[in-house]
Structures are given as C-alpha cells and as structure tokens.
Amino acid sequence: MVTAHYPGMAKTTLYKAIEKLGIHDHLCLIYETREEEMEAAITFMKLGLERGEKCVYIADDNDASFIMEMFRARGVNVEKQLEKGALAVIGKRDAYLREGDFDPDRMIDFLKAATDSAKAQGFKALRATGEMTWALGSERGVERLIEYESKLNHFFPHYDILAICQYNRKRFPPETIMDVIRTHPMVIHGGTVCRNFYYVPTDEFLGDRNTDREIDRMLGHIREREEAEERIRQSEERYRGVLDSTSEGFLMLDEHGKIVEVNDALCRMLGRGREEIIGKHPSGFMDDENQKTFAASHARLGTAGHFKYEVSFMKADGGKLEVLISASSIMGAFGMKRGSFALITDLTDLKAAEHAVRKHRELLDSISKAQLMYITRGNPKETFTHLLESALRLTGSEYGFIAELMYEADGKPFLRNIALADISNDPAYRAFFEKHTSEAMDFTNLDNLFGIAVTSGKTVIANHAPHDPRFGGRQPAGHPPIRSFIGIPLFSGDILEGTIGLANHPEGYSETVGSALAPLVSTCANLIETMKTGRKLNAVEAERDRFVNLSVDMLCIVGFDGYFKRINPAFEKTLGYSAEELLSKPFISFIHPDDRESSAAEAAKIGAGKPVVYFENRYICKDGSVKWLAWSATPFVPEGVMYAVARDMTEHKRFEHEILRSNKELEQMAYVASHDMQEPLRMVASFMQLLAKRYKGKLDKDADEYINYAIEGAQRMQALIQDMLRYSRISTRGVQPHLTESEKALDLALLNLQLQMEDTGARVTREPLPPVLADANQLVQVFQNIVSNALKFHGQRPPEVHIAATRCEADKTIEFAVRDNGIGIEERHAERIFGMFQRLHPREQYEGTGIGLAICKKVVERHGGRIRVESKLGEGSTFFFTFPCPCKEGT
C-alpha cells in the first residue's frame, strides 16, 4: 500500500493548484511513479467530493481495492461516499471498452450520459480521472485514442465536467506522450499544474496537419519567447536600478523563507555585504524575541497577502536596527504563493523621537501633578520629592538632590536641601539619608561639584567625579559614592534660586540632559520662588486662595461626611446660594432628586479611594432653576476629604438637546415628505401610462417621446423616494441587533435578485459565513445592495461574485468580503461612492438612484462597523464590511 505524499511542495503547492481548477478543465497527468500518480489523482477526486461533485475513477493498472485504500489514507469516508453515489470506481470495460473496442464518439456519449445523470442526482458536476495504460494493449480502436483526447476539448466547454487523463511516461512511447501534451490545455507534471504552451486546438489538430502552419506556430512561439525574455531583461535592469537608488531597504524571500535578493540600502543598514545575507533566513539576524515576532507576522502574511509589522535586526557591529517591514506575497500561477518581498524602513530615528516624546510627555505629566500637589496640599517637601524622583527616573540617575540658594546674615551664600533621594538599603547610607531628611541639610561649602553650578550659574558635568579637580575633597561619612554627576542651576527669570544635582548615570551625562529637563528645572525654580514669597502658612494659603478664587470653575473640598468643607466664589455665582448656605447642609440636598442615587454611588467610589474622571449630575439653584454640572474628583483618604472640580454644562446640554431635537425633526420631515410624495407620483405615472396606452401612435412622434420621458421620470422619482425612505428608516425602524445567520440573510438577498442574476448570466459563489449580531432585515439589505451593484456594473463579461468572511480578533467582528469581476472603481472615488446620490456613470449607461451604498454605510455604522472598497479600474472590486461577533463582550 502506497501512503507517501509526493515529495517537495506537493502537499501545499500541488494541492492548492488543483484546488484552483474549475468545471470544464481538461488536463493530462504525465507521471513516472505510482506516488506521483496517486498524489495528483486522489487529491483531484477528494476535492471533488468536498465540493459536492460526482466523482468517477476509471482504474486499470490499479485495482478498485487499492484505489479505495488510497481514498481512506487521505481521510475520505469511502463507504459513506459510495452509499450516497458520490464516488464510483470502475474498470476500462465499464468505460473505454464497453462494447469490446474503443470508439471516441461512443466514449464521449458515455461521458455526456454520466454528466447528465450526475446533475439529475443533484451533484454540481461530474469529475473524472482515468488510468490510460489500457491503451498500451492490443485493444481494437486504440489507434483513435489521440483523436478522442482532442475531441474532448470540443465537448468539455458545453458540459459540467472536468477530468484528468493519466499517462505513465516510462511506458508510453515518446511520440504518444507528445500527442497527449498537444491535445490537453493543461498538464500536471513534477508536482506542478501548468498551462500548456504547446496545446493545439482541436480543429487544427484533427484537420490537415499542414507543415507550414506548424512552422508558423513554432516561429511565433520562438518570437514570443524571445520578446518575453527581452522584456524580462529590461524589467530586471529597471528593477535593479530602482532598488539600488532607493533609501528604503528591500529584500525578497523564496517560498522557503530564504533571502534571494537585497538592495544596497539594506546592506548599509545591516552593515553586511550581499554575500553575508543572500541564502540566509531573516530570523538569523534577530534575537529570540524578534524571531517570534517575525515568524508570527510572516505566517499571517500567508493569509493576508500584505502585512506591516515592526521588528529589530542585529547589525554587524552588534547594534540594533529597528525597522518597519511592509511585506507582500508573490503569487504565481493558480494563485500559488511563490515567495514574498518586503520594504524595510529604518525606524531608529523615529523610535528615538518617539522615546523623546514619551519622556517629554511623562515630564509634563509629572510637572502638572507637582503643581496640583503644591496647590491642593501646600507641602513643599512632598512636591519637590516628587519632582526629584521624576528627574531621576527620566535621566536614569541613581540619586540626587534639590537645594534652595539662601544667604547668611553677612551675605554669604549657602544651599539648603529641599529634597534628597533615598537610594540604598545599605545601613550606613540609610542612616545618612534619615539624618538629612529629618532635619535641614545645608551645604555651606560651595567650592565643590555641588556648589559650582550656583557659584558659576552654569551647568556642571563630571563623568569621572572622583578624579575631577572640582570634586572638593572627601564626602561626609555614610554618603554613597559619586561616580558621575551633573549640577543644573535653577533660574527663575534672571534670579538664581538654587540647584538640582543628579548622580551616577551608567553612561555619564551630557548637555542634552539639561535641555531635556528644562521644563522641570523651570518648575523647581518657580516653586522655590513661590516658597520664598510666603514662608509662613498664611502666605501659602493666600497664594492658594488667589488661585482658587479666580478660577471660573467650581473648586471645592468635600468631606467624606457629605458636607462641603471649602468652596470658591464660583459656587455662589453659579448656584446663587451663599457660602454659608452651601456649607451648612449635606451637598446631596442641593442635587436634583433624580440624580441623588447615582451621585451617592460616585461619592462612595471616591470614599473608597478611587478618583472620578468625569461625572454629570443636576443641581437645583436657589431661584429654582436646574443646572447641569460635570465633575472630576480626587480622594485624599488620610484626611477624609476629596478635592473636586465642577464645570457648568447647562448651555452645552441645551445645545446638545437642540441638535438632537433638530435632527429628529429633520428625519421626520424627510420621511413624511418622501412618503406623501409617492401618491401624486403614482397618479402622474398611472395617467401618463394611460396616455401612452391610449394615444401611442395617434399623436406625432415627439408626443410619444415626451410621454415616455414623463413616465421614466416619474418612475425614477418613485425609485428615489423609496430609497430615501429606506435610508431614513435605518435608524428609526431598525430592530435591536440579535443573533443572525449570515447564510440565511444572503440566501434571501440572492432570492430577491434571482431575475437579475438570470438576466445577466451571473455566477455567485460563497464560502461558509458565520453568524453575527445584526438586524436581520438590514443585513439582507446590505448583501442585496452590494451584490446588485456587482450584477449591474459588470461590463462585457458575465458577472462573477464571491462572498467570504473572516473573523477579526482585535475588535471581535466578522468582516465580510464581496468580490466581483466588474468594471471597477477609480481609487479617487473609493470614499465618494458611499455618499448620498453619488453616481459615477450617466443614467443612460447604468440606472439607479445613487443611494444603495449610502444605505449600506448607514446600516453598517449603525451596528458599530465599518465599510470600505478595494478596486482597480477594469479588474473588479471587493467591498469589505464588518458586523459584531455574537461572542463580543457585553452581548
């Protein structure tokens, strides 16, 4: 028993190529081993069984039991297929030699009858394959075998049949194999399905074998081959010139994922020569983590056809090259993937810029938090410690300090520590830290690294601090070691307020550190200046009061006991109550009764230590009016209070309500107007049709033409109104999305389009479609509108439409794809076609109102989805649209 698969790519490439074959295809299989024969023949038949076709295997060399065993080895339930009549294995006496000899016309009649019988039994087509070794015997009529093979090419286009004729190259004479090749439009050989370059049409093959005609064909083939090769050479020269002139990297992979081509730019990026790269796998230039990313992305490319992802290469010098890979599949004949190519964009500078932006954003967030901390809590030590920790984190430093510049009575300057970093669990360092954070630490000696930034007013950097002549002698006992140091003066305007010092960055410091920290340095200086202007508590409170009192927003401190503890004047101005009135009652008593329960729930969250970013409720003003307030609040659990900010949203709410009301009125007006317009239009159309019936030919030619124009115009207006009604009802008449079978929705849409499909000779195919969450009627409408457009805009060829669906894990949706072979759409119109009344062609050429795709867009967006089109002019279009998965969270 032979169970081995054909070696090499047969499990992938051959299978996929045979999978692309369609009804009416006529092939020959030229094989040399039984493994080759079975791999192609059994794969061919198995695909037919999966597609609902009647499959007939005509055996000769191999007996029926062997063939059945081959089917079982490929996972076919032979008994089940035999029982339902889908599979039959017969011998040469049941087919080619039914009456004792071979007759081409009699055999073709046999195939016709078998095809008709298969169709009558409900099968989609007849799929046949025959072992032709019987022709090597002394059977009568065998000399007409090649005549039969040629005649089949007249028969196949008119019947729902496809077949493979199997020829053993080692056993048939070369002359016979040559004629077999000439009589088959397609050939399977060496694990590949090929379109036959040497195929001779039936009429020419069976007619007079004119030598001049043979010479003309051969010369034509030679000329075409030479011209094609010259075009390829020119194309390769242009291709190489483009690749080597671009700054983007380029690489090409074969079907095994190995690099077969690179350009100069990629070699420069990696710091490697071509000979170091060609023949290698890209993952060989990556670390383990990036190899996983590459493998997953490359696998996804096999299904997506085009994919972008980021990955890092290892350069020859050991550095990292961060890149964006834009990869695309290279497709060969029958849609087979032959490899891939990719453009490589160096992201090193971009990543550095992104890192700088993230650092800057983190810096600004830290500054904002420090400012709010200072305003709301008035605790300088806490604020400066926060700023110092941010500076250490952003610069990668080990420890540091912030100090204020102060003066002795005699005017001698010194530095007083405001914040000091806790840097170590070492007992000696811990004692030093605790000592100098529990009491003020003054630097009276400024003739060292700590003081030079103040005495010079300039940034000081020492990346080998212990050996720097400015170091200033021994450090205090318990002080952690200093390996590198940067000191930055703190200026508020032209006034020097102090310094910030950072130590022990692993790679040392540069001037760019000071530039990057400029906003934080400025904040430190300004806060020191603020402290200096109000050392006493009442001065600090006055500073905060000034900020709070001038705010247009409502700022307050609220106790967890439910009472306002402090409010700013904006409360009195907005609500009309006095401060005494607002402080004397629980805040819940001022809230609208309908909002008290939800407000209490939000207050409970804050009391549990969770900040509230945004919350709306209504407050009753002293004059009885109601105002909408939008709140954000932060708890401070140790003191049992929350800090809250409110903004008056009343006018915004009124404006929002007006917009909603206006939109609803416009929608109702559009519905009523379009609905009431239908009756007079029906009357106009009816009377004009009556005029046409009664007076056609009795008036002059112009009158008949004018009546026809009026009827057509009324009918177009009726169609337009009907489409406008459907558009307006999408939101108002739609039902709540529910579990909907996509297959049934498509069936109903195609049933509605049955007449149009028959008129155009359309062929509609599909893949299995999963259920979705949708308004079933509206899903039918989307399918119907898109397929109807495909049937309408089909050009010279009969329409071919294919519907498929894929699951998008990222957003838990199902994306449908409706592909056609129509006239296509220019890229510049890809967005425009989804607008109302957008037509790309004259009405005389293609009828319609221009609303169908606008309806599709509104339906899809109502379900939270998206719709788009990919198209090439003259090559067809694919419409993509999404609906939610039934398993989506919250459903």
CA–CA separation, 141 vs 96, rounded Å?
A: 10
pTM for the model stands at: 0.35
Beta bridge partners of 887: none
pLDDT at 585 over 90: yes
- Taking the CA of residue 227 as centre, how many other CA atoms within 13 Å lie in the half-sphere pointing to its CB? 6
Helix (H, G, I), strand (E, B) or coil at 449: helix
Q: How many residues does the chain have?
A: 891
pLDDT in tens, 500-526: 989 888 888 988 887 888 888 888 888
Q: Between vectors from CA 35 to CA 31 and to CA 38, what angle results, nearest 5°?
A: 80
CA distance readout (Å), 99 to 57, 89, 134, 144: 19, 19, 15, 15
% of the chain beyond a pLDDT of 90: 35
Going by pLDDT thresholds of 50, 70 and 90, the confidence category of residue 243 is low
pLDDT at 251 over 50: yes
Going by pLDDT thresholds of 50, 70 and 90, the confidence category of residue 362 is confident
pLDDT at 535 over 90: no
Going by pLDDT thresholds of 50, 70 and 90, the confidence category of residue 8 is very low
Helix (H, G, I), strand (E, B) or coil at 653: helix
Helix, strand, coil % in the chain, rounded to nearest 5 = 50, 25, 30
Q: Between vectors from CA 723 to CA 722 and to CA 727, what angle results, nearest 5°?
A: 120
pLDDT at 618 over 90: yes
* Better-scored residue on pLDDT, 333 or 384: 384
Least confident of 296-310, 324-338, 484-498: 324-338
Going by pLDDT thresholds of 50, 70 and 90, the confidence category of residue 344 is confident
% of the chain beyond a pLDDT of 70: 80
Q: Which helix (H) or strand (E) holds 872?
A: strand 867-872
624: which residues sit within 8 A by CB, 6+ positions away? none
Nearest to 168 by CA among 144, 195, 132, 196: 132
* Better-scored residue on pLDDT, 258 or 372: 258
CA–CA separation, 165 vs 104, rounded Å?
A: 14
CA distance readout (Å), 197 to 19, 120, 213, 215, 845: 21, 36, 16, 15, 39
Beta bridge partners of 636: 641
* Better-scored residue on pLDDT, 622 or 662: 622
The H-assigned helical ranges of 74-103 are: 78-83
pLDDT in tens, 443-502: 777 888 778 888 888 899 988 888 888 877 666 666 778 888 999 999 988 899 999 989
The H-assigned helical ranges of 259-342 are: 264-270, 274-277, 288-304
Structure token pair of residue 71: 């089917």
Question: Residue 572 class from Cβ within 10 Å (0-12 exposed, 13-18 middle, 19+ buried)?
Answer: middle
SS (H, E, C) 542-590: HHHHHHHHHCCCEEEEEECCCEEEEECHHHHHHHCCCHHHHHHCEHHHH
CA–CA separation, 599 vs 584, rounded Å?
A: 19
CA–CA separation, 182 vs 609, rounded Å?
A: 84
Q: What is the mean pLDDT of residues 258-275?
A: 87
Structure token pair of residue 868: 């788009």
* Better-scored residue on pLDDT, 309 or 643: 643
Structure token pair of residue 415: 């530095």
pLDDT at 750 over 50: yes
Helix (H, G, I), strand (E, B) or coil at 260: strand
Would you tell me how many other CB atoms lie within 10 Å of the CB of residue 797? 11
- Taking the CA of residue 718 as centre, how many other CA atoms within 13 Å lie in the half-sphere pointing to its CB? 15
Nearest to 138 by CA among 108, 167, 171, 102: 102
pLDDT in tens, 626-640: 999 999 999 999 889
> Sign (positive/negative) of CA torsion 316, 319, 320, 326?
negative
CA distance readout (Å), 374 to 370, 406, 612, 632: 6, 21, 20, 18
Q: What is the mean pLDDT of residues 314-337?
A: 76
Least confident of 292-306, 458-472, 511-525, 755-769: 292-306
* Better-scored residue on pLDDT, 330 or 663: 330
Question: Residue 48 class from Cβ within 10 Å (0-12 exposed, 13-18 middle, 19+ buried)?
Answer: buried
Contact yes or no for 111/150 (Cβ under 8 A) = no
pLDDT at 38 over 60: yes
Going by pLDDT thresholds of 50, 70 and 90, the confidence category of residue 776 is confident
pLDDT at 292 over 50: yes
Going by pLDDT thresholds of 50, 70 and 90, the confidence category of residue 46 is very high
pLDDT at 10: 38
pLDDT at 345: 87
pLDDT at 457: 87
pLDDT at 592: 95
> Sign (positive/negative) of CA torsion 693, 698, 704, 707?
negative
pLDDT at 6 over 90: no
Least confident of 11-25, 452-466, 635-649, 714-728: 714-728
Q: Report the relative pairing of strands 495-503 and 399-407 from DSSP bridges.
A: antiparallel
CA–CA separation, 46 vs 74, rounded Å?
A: 8
pLDDT at 73: 92
pLDDT at 283: 85
Listed ranges 32-46, 537-551, 691-705, 792-806; the one with the highest mean pLDDT: 32-46
Contact yes or no for 833/853 (Cβ under 8 A) = yes
Average pLDDT, the chain: 82
pLDDT at 890: 42
Listed ranges 96-110, 214-228, 847-861; the one with the highest mean pLDDT: 96-110
pLDDT at 85 over 90: yes
pLDDT at 465: 80
Q: What is the DSSP letter of 471?
A: S
pLDDT at 632: 92
pLDDT in tens, 137-189: 888 988 999 999 999 999 999 999 999 999 999 999 999 999 999 899 999 99
CA–CA separation, 728 vs 668, rounded Å?
A: 8
pLDDT at 584 over 50: yes
The tokens 């060399």 sit on which residue? 61
pLDDT at 425 over 60: no
Helices 742-752, 776-792: crossing angle, 10 deg rounding: 50
User: DSSP of 482-541, one letter per residue?
Assistant: -SSEEEEEEEETTEEEEEEEEE--TT---HHHHHHTHHHHHHHHHHHHHHHH--SHHHHH
Contact yes or no for 25/56 (Cβ under 8 A) = no
